[in-house]
Amino acid sequence: MSLDLLQDPREVKLQGLREVKLQGLREVNLQGPRDVKLQGLRDVKLQGLRDVKLQGLRDVKLQGLRDGPRDVNLQGPRDVKLQGLRDVKLQGLRDVKLQGLRDVKLQGLRDGPRDVNLQDPRDVKLQGLREVKLQGLRDVKLQGLRDVKLQGPRDVNLQGPRDVKLQGLRDVKLQGLRDVKLQGLRDVKLQGLRDVKLQGLRDVNLSQRGEAAGSQRREAAGSQRREAAGSQRREAAGSQRREPVSET
Protein backbone atom coordinates (compact mmCIF):
# COMPACT_ATOMS: atom_id res chain seq x y z
CA MET A 1 0.00 0.00 0.00
CA SER A 2 1.38 3.35 -1.04
CA LEU A 3 0.37 6.54 0.70
CA ASP A 4 2.20 9.07 -1.41
CA LEU A 5 -0.12 11.42 -3.33
CA LEU A 6 -1.94 14.36 -1.79
CA GLN A 7 -1.64 17.52 -3.87
CA ASP A 8 -2.07 21.00 -2.44
CA PRO A 9 -3.82 20.01 0.81
CA ARG A 10 -4.91 22.88 3.00
CA GLU A 11 -6.25 22.54 6.51
CA VAL A 12 -6.40 18.74 6.44
CA LYS A 13 -7.69 17.45 9.77
CA LEU A 14 -8.10 13.88 11.03
CA GLN A 15 -9.64 14.01 14.48
CA GLY A 16 -10.95 11.39 16.88
CA LEU A 17 -10.83 8.50 14.39
CA ARG A 18 -11.71 5.04 15.68
CA GLU A 19 -11.16 1.74 13.96
CA VAL A 20 -10.08 3.23 10.61
CA LYS A 21 -8.68 0.55 8.30
CA LEU A 22 -7.03 0.95 4.88
CA GLN A 23 -6.22 -2.50 3.53
CA GLY A 24 -5.06 -3.60 0.07
CA LEU A 25 -6.12 -0.34 -1.62
CA ARG A 26 -5.67 -0.08 -5.38
CA GLU A 27 -5.15 3.19 -7.27
CA VAL A 28 -6.89 5.49 -4.79
CA ASN A 29 -6.04 9.12 -5.55
CA LEU A 30 -6.63 12.21 -3.41
CA GLN A 31 -5.50 15.30 -5.32
CA GLY A 32 -5.71 18.99 -4.48
CA PRO A 33 -8.16 18.83 -1.53
CA ARG A 34 -8.65 21.92 0.59
CA ASP A 35 -10.06 22.01 4.08
CA VAL A 36 -10.44 18.23 4.40
CA LYS A 37 -11.76 17.20 7.81
CA LEU A 38 -12.30 13.68 9.14
CA GLN A 39 -13.66 13.72 12.67
CA GLY A 40 -14.89 10.99 15.01
CA LEU A 41 -15.27 8.27 12.35
CA ARG A 42 -16.66 4.83 13.29
CA ASP A 43 -17.56 1.69 11.34
CA VAL A 44 -16.91 2.92 7.75
CA LYS A 45 -15.89 0.12 5.37
CA LEU A 46 -14.41 0.50 1.87
CA GLN A 47 -13.61 -2.87 0.32
CA GLY A 48 -12.24 -3.79 -3.11
CA LEU A 49 -12.95 -0.39 -4.73
CA ARG A 50 -12.40 -0.10 -8.49
CA ASP A 51 -12.12 3.05 -10.59
CA VAL A 52 -13.88 5.42 -8.17
CA LYS A 53 -13.18 9.05 -9.08
CA LEU A 54 -14.03 12.17 -7.10
CA GLN A 55 -12.92 15.28 -8.98
CA GLY A 56 -13.20 18.99 -8.27
CA LEU A 57 -15.25 18.62 -5.09
CA ARG A 58 -15.93 21.70 -2.97
CA ASP A 59 -17.34 21.92 0.52
CA VAL A 60 -17.91 18.19 1.08
CA LYS A 61 -19.29 17.61 4.57
CA LEU A 62 -20.01 14.37 6.44
CA GLN A 63 -21.39 15.32 9.84
CA GLY A 64 -22.90 13.46 12.77
CA LEU A 65 -23.47 10.20 10.85
CA ARG A 66 -25.58 8.58 13.51
CA ASP A 67 -29.17 7.64 14.23
CA GLY A 68 -30.81 8.29 10.86
CA PRO A 69 -32.22 5.90 8.28
CA ARG A 70 -31.12 2.29 8.18
CA ASP A 71 -30.14 -0.32 5.63
CA VAL A 72 -28.94 1.79 2.68
CA ASN A 73 -27.39 -0.61 0.14
CA LEU A 74 -25.47 0.20 -3.06
CA GLN A 75 -24.37 -3.07 -4.67
CA GLY A 76 -22.62 -3.93 -7.94
CA PRO A 77 -22.85 -0.57 -9.79
CA ARG A 78 -20.48 -0.10 -12.75
CA ASP A 79 -19.30 3.12 -14.31
CA VAL A 80 -21.07 5.40 -11.82
CA LYS A 81 -20.26 9.04 -12.50
CA LEU A 82 -21.24 12.04 -10.41
CA GLN A 83 -20.03 15.26 -12.02
CA GLY A 84 -20.61 18.89 -11.05
CA LEU A 85 -23.39 18.11 -8.56
CA ARG A 86 -25.55 21.02 -7.42
CA ASP A 87 -28.16 21.21 -4.68
CA VAL A 88 -28.94 17.48 -4.31
CA LYS A 89 -30.45 16.56 -0.95
CA LEU A 90 -31.15 13.08 0.43
CA GLN A 91 -32.67 13.24 3.90
CA GLY A 92 -34.03 10.62 6.26
CA LEU A 93 -33.57 7.65 3.89
CA ARG A 94 -34.52 4.15 5.03
CA ASP A 95 -33.87 0.83 3.32
CA VAL A 96 -32.52 2.37 0.08
CA LYS A 97 -30.97 -0.25 -2.22
CA LEU A 98 -29.08 0.35 -5.47
CA GLN A 99 -27.97 -2.96 -6.99
CA GLY A 100 -26.24 -3.77 -10.28
CA LEU A 101 -26.67 -0.27 -11.79
CA ARG A 102 -26.01 0.01 -15.55
CA ASP A 103 -26.27 2.84 -18.04
CA VAL A 104 -28.11 5.38 -15.85
CA LYS A 105 -27.14 8.90 -16.86
CA LEU A 106 -28.15 12.22 -15.28
CA GLN A 107 -26.17 14.96 -17.01
CA GLY A 108 -26.12 18.75 -17.00
CA LEU A 109 -28.13 19.16 -13.78
CA ARG A 110 -26.72 22.62 -13.36
CA ASP A 111 -29.15 24.67 -15.36
CA GLY A 112 -31.83 22.01 -15.05
CA PRO A 113 -33.00 20.52 -11.76
CA ARG A 114 -31.68 22.21 -8.66
CA ASP A 115 -32.43 21.37 -5.09
CA VAL A 116 -33.24 17.70 -5.66
CA ASN A 117 -34.69 16.44 -2.39
CA LEU A 118 -35.36 12.84 -1.36
CA GLN A 119 -36.76 12.93 2.15
CA ASP A 120 -37.80 9.99 4.32
CA PRO A 121 -38.14 7.39 1.54
CA ARG A 122 -38.54 3.82 2.79
CA ASP A 123 -37.67 0.61 0.98
CA VAL A 124 -36.43 2.27 -2.24
CA LYS A 125 -34.80 -0.26 -4.57
CA LEU A 126 -33.00 0.37 -7.88
CA GLN A 127 -31.63 -2.86 -9.37
CA GLY A 128 -29.74 -3.81 -12.53
CA LEU A 129 -28.43 -0.31 -13.40
CA ARG A 130 -25.08 0.36 -15.15
CA GLU A 131 -23.11 3.50 -15.93
CA VAL A 132 -24.87 5.91 -13.60
CA LYS A 133 -23.85 9.49 -14.37
CA LEU A 134 -24.82 12.61 -12.43
CA GLN A 135 -23.27 15.76 -13.89
CA GLY A 136 -23.52 19.46 -13.07
CA LEU A 137 -24.96 19.04 -9.56
CA ARG A 138 -24.22 21.41 -6.67
CA ASP A 139 -24.90 21.29 -2.95
CA VAL A 140 -25.37 17.53 -2.51
CA LYS A 141 -26.68 16.68 0.94
CA LEU A 142 -27.13 13.24 2.50
CA GLN A 143 -28.52 13.52 6.02
CA GLY A 144 -29.48 11.02 8.69
CA LEU A 145 -28.21 7.91 6.87
CA ARG A 146 -27.54 4.65 8.75
CA ASP A 147 -25.97 1.40 7.55
CA VAL A 148 -24.88 2.64 4.11
CA LYS A 149 -23.36 -0.10 1.95
CA LEU A 150 -21.55 0.29 -1.39
CA GLN A 151 -20.54 -3.08 -2.84
CA GLY A 152 -18.79 -4.03 -6.07
CA PRO A 153 -19.11 -0.72 -8.01
CA ARG A 154 -16.63 -0.01 -10.83
CA ASP A 155 -15.61 3.23 -12.47
CA VAL A 156 -17.39 5.60 -10.07
CA ASN A 157 -16.72 9.23 -11.00
CA LEU A 158 -17.55 12.31 -8.92
CA GLN A 159 -16.52 15.49 -10.74
CA GLY A 160 -16.93 19.14 -9.82
CA PRO A 161 -19.59 18.90 -7.07
CA ARG A 162 -19.82 21.74 -4.58
CA ASP A 163 -21.15 21.73 -1.05
CA VAL A 164 -21.64 17.97 -0.69
CA LYS A 165 -23.00 17.09 2.75
CA LEU A 166 -23.45 13.66 4.30
CA GLN A 167 -24.91 13.91 7.79
CA GLY A 168 -25.94 11.39 10.42
CA LEU A 169 -24.37 8.34 8.72
CA ARG A 170 -23.60 5.19 10.68
CA ASP A 171 -22.01 1.92 9.58
CA VAL A 172 -21.05 3.01 6.06
CA LYS A 173 -19.67 0.17 3.92
CA LEU A 174 -18.04 0.43 0.49
CA GLN A 175 -17.06 -2.97 -0.88
CA GLY A 176 -15.47 -4.27 -4.09
CA LEU A 177 -14.29 -0.88 -5.44
CA ARG A 178 -11.06 -0.33 -7.42
CA ASP A 179 -9.19 2.72 -8.65
CA VAL A 180 -10.71 5.31 -6.29
CA LYS A 181 -9.69 8.84 -7.24
CA LEU A 182 -10.39 12.03 -5.28
CA GLN A 183 -9.21 15.10 -7.19
CA GLY A 184 -9.41 18.82 -6.51
CA LEU A 185 -11.42 18.48 -3.30
CA ARG A 186 -12.25 21.58 -1.29
CA ASP A 187 -13.74 21.82 2.18
CA VAL A 188 -14.32 18.08 2.65
CA LYS A 189 -15.67 17.32 6.10
CA LEU A 190 -16.31 13.92 7.66
CA GLN A 191 -17.64 14.35 11.18
CA GLY A 192 -19.05 12.04 13.81
CA LEU A 193 -18.35 8.80 11.90
CA ARG A 194 -17.89 5.53 13.79
CA ASP A 195 -16.21 2.26 12.84
CA VAL A 196 -14.63 3.35 9.53
CA LYS A 197 -13.11 0.47 7.58
CA LEU A 198 -11.31 0.63 4.23
CA GLN A 199 -10.58 -2.91 3.05
CA GLY A 200 -9.23 -4.57 -0.09
CA LEU A 201 -7.95 -1.32 -1.67
CA ARG A 202 -4.61 -1.06 -3.49
CA ASP A 203 -2.35 1.84 -4.38
CA VAL A 204 -3.91 4.46 -2.11
CA ASN A 205 -2.20 7.80 -2.64
CA LEU A 206 -2.77 10.20 0.25
CA SER A 207 0.45 12.14 0.64
CA GLN A 208 3.77 12.74 -1.05
CA ARG A 209 6.87 13.50 0.93
CA GLY A 210 9.69 15.89 0.12
CA GLU A 211 9.77 19.65 -0.40
CA ALA A 212 10.93 19.44 -4.02
CA ALA A 213 8.29 16.88 -4.89
CA GLY A 214 5.73 18.93 -3.02
CA SER A 215 6.54 22.11 -4.97
CA GLN A 216 6.47 20.17 -8.25
CA ARG A 217 3.13 18.67 -7.26
CA ARG A 218 1.71 22.06 -6.36
CA GLU A 219 2.83 23.58 -9.66
CA ALA A 220 1.56 20.59 -11.67
CA ALA A 221 -1.70 20.47 -9.73
CA GLY A 222 -2.23 24.21 -10.20
CA SER A 223 -1.65 24.07 -13.96
CA GLN A 224 -3.70 20.88 -14.24
CA ARG A 225 -6.60 22.40 -12.29
CA ARG A 226 -6.46 25.57 -14.38
CA GLU A 227 -6.38 23.65 -17.66
CA ALA A 228 -9.02 21.14 -16.52
CA ALA A 229 -11.31 23.89 -15.22
CA GLY A 230 -10.98 25.86 -18.44
CA SER A 231 -11.59 22.85 -20.68
CA GLN A 232 -14.47 21.65 -18.47
CA ARG A 233 -16.12 25.07 -18.61
CA ARG A 234 -15.65 25.25 -22.38
CA GLU A 235 -16.98 21.73 -22.90
CA ALA A 236 -19.91 22.25 -20.53
CA ALA A 237 -20.85 25.55 -22.19
CA GLY A 238 -20.53 24.01 -25.66
CA SER A 239 -22.54 20.90 -24.79
CA GLN A 240 -25.27 22.96 -23.12
CA ARG A 241 -25.49 25.15 -26.23
CA ARG A 242 -25.48 22.16 -28.59
CA GLU A 243 -28.12 19.90 -27.05
CA PRO A 244 -30.24 19.50 -23.92
CA VAL A 245 -29.91 16.55 -21.56
CA SER A 246 -32.11 13.67 -22.65
CA GLU A 247 -30.81 10.59 -20.85
CA THR A 248 -32.39 9.64 -17.54
The C-alpha R_g of the chain, in whole angstroms, comes to 17
- Residue by residue, what is the 3-state secondary structure of 66-102? CCCCCCEEEECCECCEEECCECEEEECCECCEEECCC
Residue 142, pLDDT score? 55
Residue 83, pLDDT score? 45
Each of the 248 residues of the chain gets a pLDDT tens digit; together they read 233 333 334 444 444 444 444 433 334 444 444 444 444 444 444 444 344 444 444 444 443 333 333 444 444 444 444 444 445 555 545 555 555 444 555 444 444 444 555 555 555 555 444 445 554 445 555 555 555 555 554 454 444 455 555 555 555 555 554 445 444 444 555 444 444 444 443 444 433 223 233 333 334 444 444 444 455 445 444 544 444 444 43
Beta-carbon-side half-sphere exposure of residue 110 (alpha carbons within 13 Å): 16
| Residue 228 DSSP label | H
Q: Where along the chain do its domains lie?
A: 6-240
* Terminal-residue alpha carbon distance, the chain: 38
Report the amino acid identity of residue 245.
V
Q: Please check whether residue 42 is in contact with residue 194, taking contact to mean a CB–CB distance below 8 angstroms.
A: yes
**pTM score over 0.75:** no
Alpha carbon distance 203, 2 (integer Å): 5
| Residue 227 DSSP label | H
Alpha carbon distance 205, 208 (integer Å): 8
